[in-house]
Amino acid sequence: MLSEVQAHLPISHPWRERIHFFQCVPSTNDLAKELARKDAPEGTVILADRQTGGRGRLGRSFHSPSGMGIYMSVILRPKCQPSELMHLTCATAQAMCDAVERAASIRPGIKWINDLVWQKKKLGGILTELILTPAGDLDSAVVGIGINCSQAAEDFPPELRPIATSLLLASGRKTDRTTLCAAMIDALYSMSETLLTGREVMLERYRRDCVTIGQDVILLRGNSSVEAYAAGVDDTGGLILRFPSGETETVQSGEVSVRGMFGYI
């Protein structure tokens, strides 16, 4: 797998020799964070065929069976404060839309803030984690991406079947996982180059791909759920909500999740 991914990248690609492949790990994000704490360089890529403890946002799990998905985490070391990285998950989602389009010829939508979707079902997700120094400065960031590639409907556990899809189901044909991995690595490299300078352009593109904007949604926060209209995404990646009372509020990804009125999207 490793040499095939490398073969799809130019010899001169700055991250080509920083890719590590594992048959099975608990979570590629956990391993990437461990390596980041040991000073692994920017562009260190952890890839696994299978995860036993794949994690999603808000403590959810990410189903990660062998041979069917891509489970990847990358270490980034942007020179900025943590507060300047509010848009990192959006930038990663945007880069992943580009990569999927390049490798699988379909462009997913984005369900705010971190889910890649196709026709109201989840194709993949992104988990961004920051590592801070004891003084609270940014040490590094880990972006983790999971994409369902070759699952047939019955390969998903029954509880995921109504809400999950794969590139195979979405596009009707097989996508080579190593081609997609290389496209993801290259898209993440490009993203890292413009992360601090290209935020506005990236967010304009994110808004075009985001299927949440313009929808009536249910905002889930702690034990409460309220209806709102998703009016837009602000210039940090926050979701601008308008409530039936006419009041508006911008919510950040750490605190809430959003559901469609009639299902997952």
Rule CB under 6 A: is residue 206 a binding residue for ligand BTN? Answer: no
Confirm or reject binding of residue 125 to ligand BTN (CB under 6 A): yes
Residue (125 or 238) nearer to ligand BTN, CB: 125
Number of residues that bind ligand BTN (CB under 6 A): 20
Nearer to ligand BTN (CB atom), residue 229 or residue 264: 264
Is 198 or 260 the residue whose CB approaches ligand BTN more closely?
A: 260
Residue with token string 């920083």: 18
Site stretch for ligand BTN (CB under 6 A), options 9-17, 49-57, 152-160, 229-237: 49-57
Q: Choose the binding region for ligand BTN from 26-34, 161-169, 196-204, 205-213 (rule: CB under 6 A).
A: 26-34
Helix ranges (H only) for the chain are 2-7, 28-37, 88-104, 167-171, 177-194, 199-209
Q: Which is nearer to ligand BTN, 51 or 165 (CB)?
A: 51
Sequence-distant (6+) residues with CB within 8 A of 218 are 225, 226, 227, 228, 258, 259, 260, 261
Task: Give the Cα separation of 203 and 205 in Å (integer).
Answer: 5
Tell me the three state secondary structure of residue 25.
strand
Q: How far apart are CA 203 and CA 233, in angstroms?
A: 8
The residue within the footprint of ligand BTN, chosen from 9, 19, 29, 94 (CB under 6 A), is 29
Among 144, 155, 170, 184, binds ligand BTN (CB under 6 A): 144
Structure tokens at 5: 């991914």
